[in-house]
Amino acid sequence: MSILISGAGPVGLTLAVTLRKMGVECRLIDKSPQPTNQSRAAIIHSRTMEVFERLGIVENFLREGVRVHGASIRSAWDKPIYELHLGGLPTEYPYFLGLNQTATERLLTEELVRLGGSVERSKTLVSLKQNADGVHVVLADESGSQTETSFNYVAGCDGGHSTVRHQLNLPFEGETLDTQWLTADVKIEWDFPGDKALGYLCPSGLAFIARMDSDRWRIIINAPDNVPLNPEDLTLEKIQDICLKRFGMAMHLHDPAWISPFAVNTRMAPCMRVGRVFLAGDAAHVHSPVGGQGMNTGIQDAFNLGWKLAFVAKGQGGDRLLGTYNEERHANAKKLLGLVGPATRVVNWRGPLAVTLRNSAMKLAGMLGIGGIMARRVSELDVNYRGCSGFAEHLPSMGDWLSEVAHHQPAQWMADCWDFSKGPKPGERAPDAHGLLQHAEDLGTRIHKSWSNDMNYQLLLFSGVNPRLERMEHLGELLNHAVARLGDRVSVHLICPNRHDYPNHWIDSGLDVHHEYGARQECLYLIRPDGYVGFRCQPALWEPLNAYFSSILA
């Protein structure tokens, strides 16, 4: 199986690392002779850190980045409008991680090299044609010399001006917003702790600032009409003047690493897959930097595509599995553009009446306790694929209900079913929870940590809070059957309140994991390699589980 990835930014690198992590070789090319020296994307969100944890590389990023625990949005004259708190997020990473894109690419490249891969630089994809058997491409090196070769699959991670997208003759539908923006990465002398991002919504425009490493800050402002947008003419002094007027506090900007104007484009391709060719990241969708969603969304595109391509490459999945990539990620991109585009227009309102209306609405949102919803949305923990075709569940039937009535336990059975209904549903992110032990003296671990570095599906067999002996025997048989039949694709975990003599066994003595998954009664959850619930079943049964696997991985 041969796979070509065009574009070695964070998206292409994540895709290559995912494939290599799962034992699948690929070629990664980039037209640039060197990695970027521009900081560009500077925020890594909670969900992306969970992806990096699954790949076993999150600690590398945590060592270099700085943690930003929320955002304070204020109006002119330093009046508070809205406080975004991230500390309550249901994740091990309840914060933004400030880290410039140069460092992100370096860390991903180091992992790729450790896994035996590399980036082929100064190499450009010139053209591609595909048929039922593969994709025929023409590649050019820095001298202009061209070579022709074929691949089973091609992934375009080559940015907003994607050659791959153009070769597919796909339109990039959307618009360019008429407001111009400026960004600068600078050092600042001022009296601000930096544990939060800071945004000012003033009649003259917006100003946003956040720490991006230990001594440097990212500034984003919408440009006044009288500021020249030629990069050569745009000076640090002009940025300083705008910031002083909008932030209204003493601050000295110095040592700029990057100053640039930019326009906000809101565009997306009509699909992210055409036959054997895929698009990911900016090649498929671009939007405003509001919320820092761009690179993070692209990395999740790559992770979603990567594990599916790897399963197909290893003969463990087929075209139906690949088809879920477009279904899931294109819908997510469409939803994101529908949120970020209007939000960008709102923060750009300038008239006195419009500014008052916007600021009052944001204050009201804070008073109504909407902050938790906003935090989950910005951190991308609320991304889900509910309603997509690659998910299923098996719930108790009317026959089960009648059986419980006959055994005089209808109330308890209904309570258990109700609890299960509140657990994570197919297509939702599998929640994290603490308290798993392998033996009584163990210090314990998190459910997400237990599958870090493991790119298999994860089968969680829950005994329920009061397991009966015959049901434990049933779960032991199910565990052995799953290991024997699915062991090359699935890691199996038996989770019980007490110690039992079964392999792959975790003790959940505090029942934290059981409660998080609505598992008062015996049940099972099948978690995909990207951390989403693929299938769940109550009670735990082999036949529906096997039927799901047979359908999705056929």
Q: Can you list the domains of the chain with their CATH numbers?
A: 3-42+100-172+269-346 (3.50.50.60), 175-264 (3.30.9.10), 392-552 (3.40.30.20)
Please give the pLDDT value at position 409.
Answer: 65
Residue keyed to tokens 């970027």: 36
The C-alpha angle with vertex 487 and arms to 486 and 490, in degrees rounded to 5, equals 75
**SS3 track for 491-520:** EEEEEECCCCCCCCEEECCCCHHHHHCCCC
* Gyration radius (Cα) of the chain, Å: 25
Identify residue 77 by its one-letter amino acid code. W
Return the C-alpha torsion angle 303, 309, 315, 317, nearest 10. 80
| Ranges of the chain whose pLDDT falls below 50 | none
Prior bond to 539 cis, omega within 30? yes
Q: Is 406 left (phi over 0), alpha (psi -120 to 50) or beta?
A: alpha
pTM of the complete model: 0.95
Q: Are 48 and 101 in contact (CB under 8 A)?
A: no
Dihedral sign for Cα 171, 173, 179, 180, please. Answer: negative
Distant-in-sequence, close-in-space partners of 49: CB < 8 Å, separation ≥ 6: 58, 61, 62, 91, 92, 93, 97
Please give the pLDDT value at position 22.
Answer: 97
Please give the pLDDT value at position 410.
Answer: 65
Q: Hey, what are 301's tokens?
A: 């595109």
Distance, in Å, from the CA atom of 423 to the CA atom of 534, rounded to the nearest integer, reads: 13
Residue keyed to tokens 């391509």: 309
Please give the pLDDT value at position 369.
Answer: 75
Please give the pLDDT value at position 360.
Answer: 85
Start-to-end CA distance of the chain, whole Å, equals 18
Please give the pLDDT value at position 341.
Answer: 83
Dihedral sign for Cα 257, 260, 266, 267, please. Answer: negative
- Which residue blocks in 22-157 are alpha helix, DSSP H? 46-55, 58-64, 101-114
